[in-house]
Amino acid sequence: MARITPARLRKVSTTSSGDTAPASNWGNRGVPKKLREQVLRRDGYRCQLRYDGCIGEATEADHIVNVASLGVARAQAVQPVGLQAVCVPCHRVKTQAERTAGIARHYAQRHRTDEPHPGLL
Ligand SMILES: [Zn+2]
C-alpha cells in the first residue's frame, strides 16, 4: 500500500499548466461568444432580469434554466432558446442564487435522514 506523502499531494493538486484552476468547473457558465452575441442581439442588448441594481445594458448571456438543475449536458443546454441577455450585476445575483440552491440540493441528497436504515427497525 503506497503512502501518500506531502510531495504526492502537491503533485495531484497542481494542474499541468501550473495555474490554480479549481478542481471542478461548477459555476463556469461560459457561453460561446458567437452564441452570446446572437442572444444579445435578439434581446436588443437589454437586460431581461431587471433585478435590483440592474444597469439595463446586457453584455452577457444567461441560461434561463440553470444547467446544473436541468441535469443535461452543457452542450445540449447551449442553444439560443435557453438563453437570455443579462447585465453583469443581475447575472451575478442569479448565478449566486442558483449556486446556493444547487449546494442545498446537493446537501439534501447526500444527507437524507428521513429514512431509517431497515436494519435498525
Ligand atoms: Zn440587469
Please check whether residue 48 lies inside any domain of the structure. yes
Please check whether residue 38 lies inside any domain of the structure. yes
What's the 93 CA to ligand 1 centre distance in angstroms?
Answer: 9
Per the structure, how many domains does the chain have?
A: 1
**Ranges of the chain with pLDDT below 50:** 12-19, 21-28
pLDDT score of 74: 58
pLDDT digits (tens, 9 = 90+) for 51-67: 999 999 999 999 887 65
Contact 24, 15 (CB under 8 A): no
Please check whether residue 119 lies inside any domain of the structure. no
Supply the range of the domain harboring residue 80. 31-110
What's the 63 CA to ligand 1 centre distance in angstroms?
Answer: 14
What's the 30 CA to ligand 1 centre distance in angstroms?
Answer: 18
What's the 45 CA to ligand 1 centre distance in angstroms?
Answer: 10
Please check whether residue 104 lies inside any domain of the structure. yes
Please check whether residue 42 lies inside any domain of the structure. yes
Please check whether residue 15 lies inside any domain of the structure. no
Set of cell numbers at residue 105: 440540493
Q: Determine how β-strand 60-63 pairs with β-strand 83-86.
A: antiparallel
What's the 38 CA to ligand 1 centre distance in angstroms?
Answer: 18
Please check whether residue 57 lies inside any domain of the structure. yes
